[in-house]
Amino acid sequence: MADMGDSLMDAGARAVYDVRNLDALRGQVRRAPQSEEAQRQVAREFEALFINMMIQRMREATPREGLFDSAQSRMAQSLADQQMATQLADPGIGLAQALLQQMRQGMGQVMRHE
């Protein structure tokens, strides 16, 4: 039983939407904008956030009524959707790769002008 609680806490600690995690990433990219790993991480985070927004909009389009429509079930569904978005972004839908390519092109233009 303790293992389940620990795994839930670990999952919460790894949640892509943790504001501290996003702030740390932002700082890392500002300190080392050429860091390829930081760029990859930002692109993955953005893709997961985009997928989560897409899932949220699909849920909003679905009528909610009945026994399982409560604030608690909506909160649980939202948390599950966040984790699903994170997992879907791991192989990706191509958005992170396109964003990385765009960032690299922008960096190349900046470096050529200097």
Q: What is the pLDDT of residues 36-46, one digit of tens each?
A: 888 888 888 88
Average pLDDT of span 79-104: 88
Confidence at residue 8, expressed as pLDDT on a 0 to 100 scale: 38
Cβ atoms within 10 Å, residue 96: 22
Region for residue 92 given its phi and psi (left: phi exceeds 0; alpha: psi -120 to 50; beta: otherwise): left
Looking at per-residue pLDDT, the higher value among 34 and 61 belongs to 61
- Taking 70 as the threshold, does the pLDDT of residue 14 lie above it? no
Confidence at residue 98, expressed as pLDDT on a 0 to 100 scale: 92
